[in-house]
Every structure is written in C-alpha cells, then in structure tokens.
Structure 1
Amino acid sequence: MPVPEELRTLALTPRHLSLLTHLLLDGPMSVNELAAGIEVAPTTVSLMIGELSHKGILDRRESDTDRRRKIVSISLADG
C-alpha cells in the first residue's frame, strides 16, 4: 500500500507508519501500549512520538487518571 499523498513530504519511515496505523485503528493510547503493539522498546516509541509531534502529526497529553502517563493521539489540526 503506498504512503498517502499528504504524508509523502514528511519523510516517514515504515515504523512511523506502523505507529500511525495503530493509532488510527485503535485510537489514543499510552507509549507503552504503542510499544507493545508495534513490538519496539518504549524509548524508541518515545523518540518517534517526539519526531511526529514536532511535525504536528501527533498530540501528547497527560492521562486523566495518572499524570505521569502520556496518552498519544493523531492530531486533528489542519495543515
């Protein structure tokens, strides 16, 4: 499956796309849940989330039940 036109200029790797697919299909989740889903270390997922957040693709927020836990979601902001 080709990378969507909107994402081609963002220089995303297959692992970035895997992370985005998990969030798209399963909704917002924690770093640890994402790491388990794409089978990489949480530190690697944190780095990828940082990269995608700087590009405006992802949002991070504190969990309502545990402020130490970060919930990651796809950004709904345009452009």
Structure 2
Amino acid sequence: MTSGLPAQQIPPTEIRQGVVRLARRLSSERPADGLSLNKSSVLAHLLRNGPMSAGALAAADHQQPQSLTRVFAELEREGLIVRSRDDHDGRQRVLELTEKGRETLVHDMARRDAWLDIALSDLTETERQVLLLAARLMTRLADSPARHAESPAP
C-alpha cells in the first residue's frame, strides 16, 4: 500500500493500471450497437459544456480537430448534433447537442452505469466516497495542462 508516501514515491504504474482496467471493463459493458468512444466523448462534452466550436471540443478531448472531422460529420448526419453560427462571432460555427443526441448518449451510458451501480453496491460507504473523490481527482488530472516528462532511457 502506498498511502502516506510522499508524491514522488507513489508509483504512477498502479494508478494507471487501475484506471486502464476499469476503462476496459466499462468498455466491455458498452452495448454492441452503442456509440464509439469518440462519439460518446464528443456528445458528453456537449452535454456538460453546451455548444462548442470544433476546435474547442477537440482541445477539451485532447485531440486534433482533424482527427474528429469524420466523427463530427457522422454525428451530424445521424441527427445527434447540429452546427450553427456562434452567437458571439457569426464567422464561427459551433456544434450543439440535439435532443436525439442527448437521448442516445443517456441510453448508451445506461448499461455501463447499471453495471457500475451493481459493482459499487459491494463496497462500503467509505469506499464509495473514496472512489467519488478519486473520480473528481482523475478528472482534474485529465484536464491538467500537458507537461511532458523526459523520456526514460531505453
């Protein structure tokens, strides 16, 4: 157990492994006809943050706008998002979640949330509160500015 150790002595490997394993488990609970990870991520950003430009959305998802161009087009074709003029800058276009997009995202997340709800029921109240705190901290970590560590020697 690593509790009580200074930050420099906490091995990031254990945290990374736990996050990756949970992400894979949640992914396995995704419905076969569910949204791709990119599509659900885009819709979730729009649900949380409201209308956003393609560039702002890509930056929030730590991706290049070009890598999401096809995803945006597919979501728009499926009626899950719409593009409209920015109220503040008429030259700018923003992506906005449609009601169908919101419903699709909620349905897509429901199965994973149901599995997680069952898994959480096996934990104590204290453990659930620790996980809630950890989730908030992981969100902060994910949103922190990129700082690249020196590459380890081979």
Q: What TM-score do you get using the length of structure 1 for normalisation?
A: 0.76
Structure 2: stretches of 5+ with no match in the other structure: 1-25, 104-154
Q: What per-residue deviation string (whole Å, max 9, x for no partner) do you get for residues 16-54 of structure 1?
A: 111111111111111111010111111222321110000
> Higher relative contact order at CA 8 Å, sep ≥6: structure 1 or structure 2?
1
- Contact 1:34-1:45 within 8 A present in 2 as well: no
Q: Which residue of 1 aligns with 2:46?
A: 23
Q: For residues 50 and 65 of structure 2, what CA distance do their matches in structure 1 show? A: 18
**Which segment drifts farther, 29-38 or 69-78?**
69-78
- Choose 1 or 2 for highest CA Rg: 2
Task: Number of aligned residue pairs: give it.
Answer: 75
Query: Which 4+ residue blocks in structure 1 deviate beyond 6 angstroms?
Result: none
Which structure dedicates a bigger proportion of its chain to strand? 1
Pairwise mapping of residues 57-72 of structure 1 onto structure 2 (< 5 A)? 57-72=80-95
Matched, 1:40 2:63: yes
RMSD of the alignment, in Å? 2.3
Quick one: which amino acid aligns to residue 67 of structure 2? Answer: T
Letter in 2 for 1:57: L
